[in-house]
Structure formats: structure tokens, C-alpha cells
Amino acid sequence: MEAAGAGGGAGWEGAGAGREALLQFVRELPDDLGFVFTVSTDQGYLHPDVSERLWPAWEVLQQRGEFENLEAAVAEADFDVLARAGLTGPELGYKLAGVRTAREAARRLPAPRGLRKLLKWIDVILGSILAAVGAGEAIKEIKEGVEAELDSAE
């Protein structure tokens, strides 16, 4: 299945939500996380000590190219590897729908509960990517830290 790993080959034909949709999720991830982090700090949902240290950690993560590394890993991954992680076809479509609806709700009403829901849906896909290609751990950890803080915000 060499062609499938290239982003459009036979393995992706008829697969419903495909590699490009997954790559779009990865490309939108910095904006989604940045939105949650900004609202969480601006609204005081995070402990001040955590909030103060979040932004330098976020900056280092971005400077290190973690999002670019994640995108490259997804772009280069073999179709079968992504399929086994539920990152193709109807399974991916379901996960992306969850992220999309949670994103829309969180942007309409950015309260801790909605922000946590968005982070949890992001984690559904990010965890699958991590299991499939071994990339995204640092992103997942900073996301989980903010999520833990939001657990005590209400």
C-alpha cells in the first residue's frame, strides 16, 4: 500500500473523511488550543501560577516545531496505520464531527464546561494520532494540563 501512504492512493479512495481532513484538524489545532488557553487565562479559570507558566511553555512548544512535526507525521503515515487507529473513513468523520460541534459550542459560550468538552474531543483524535504515529505527546500534555485546571474551574 505504498500509494496509500502518499496522501491520496488507493487506500484513501472511498474512505469518507480522508487524510486531508485529518491534516486540516492538525492545522487548526494551534488555533483551537490557543483559543481555549486564552479564554481560560483571561477568565481566571486557571490557577495564577499555572496561568503564568502556560504561555512560556506554549511558546517553547511552538518554537520547537511540534505542530509541524505532527503534521509531517500524519502526512507521511501509511493508510493502514491510520485506519487501525480509527483515523480514516466513518470513524474519522465521527471524531471530526465531535470536534466541530464542540468547537462551535465553546466559541458561542466559552465557559469551563464547553472548553473542557472541546479539549476532550481534541484528545480523541490527538490520542489516536499519537498511538498511530508516535507524534504529538508534548501537545497532548500541555492540553491535558489546562484540562485538569478547568476541571476545578466550576
Specify the range with the lowest mean pLDDT, choosing from 14-23, 41-50, 116-125: 14-23
Q: What is the pLDDT of residue 17?
A: 56
The count of other CB atoms within 10 Å of the CB of residue 139 is 24
101 vs 99: CA distance, rounded Å: 6
- Taking Cα atoms as reference points, which of 94, 137, 133, 105 lies closest to residue 32? 105
User: Is the model's pLDDT at 12 over the cut of 80?
Assistant: no
Residue with cell string 498511530: 132
Q: What is the pLDDT of residue 40?
A: 94
User: Is the model's pLDDT at 99 over the cut of 90?
Assistant: yes
User: Is the model's pLDDT at 9 over the cut of 60?
Assistant: no
Q: What percent of the chain has pLDDT over 70?
A: 88
* pTM summary value: 0.86
Q: What is the pLDDT of residue 153?
A: 77
Q: Sign of dihedral through CA atoms 135, 50, 62, 108?
A: positive
Task: Band the pLDDT of 154: cuts 50, 70, 90.
Answer: low
Cell of 102: 464542540
| Domains of the chain, residue spans | 16-151
Cell of 137: 505527546
Residue with cell string 480523541: 124
Per-residue pLDDT of 30-71, as tens digits, reads 999 999 999 999 999 999 999 999 999 999 999 999 999 999
The count of other CB atoms within 10 Å of the CB of residue 131 is 14
**C-beta of residue 102 within 8 angstroms of C-beta of residue 116:** no
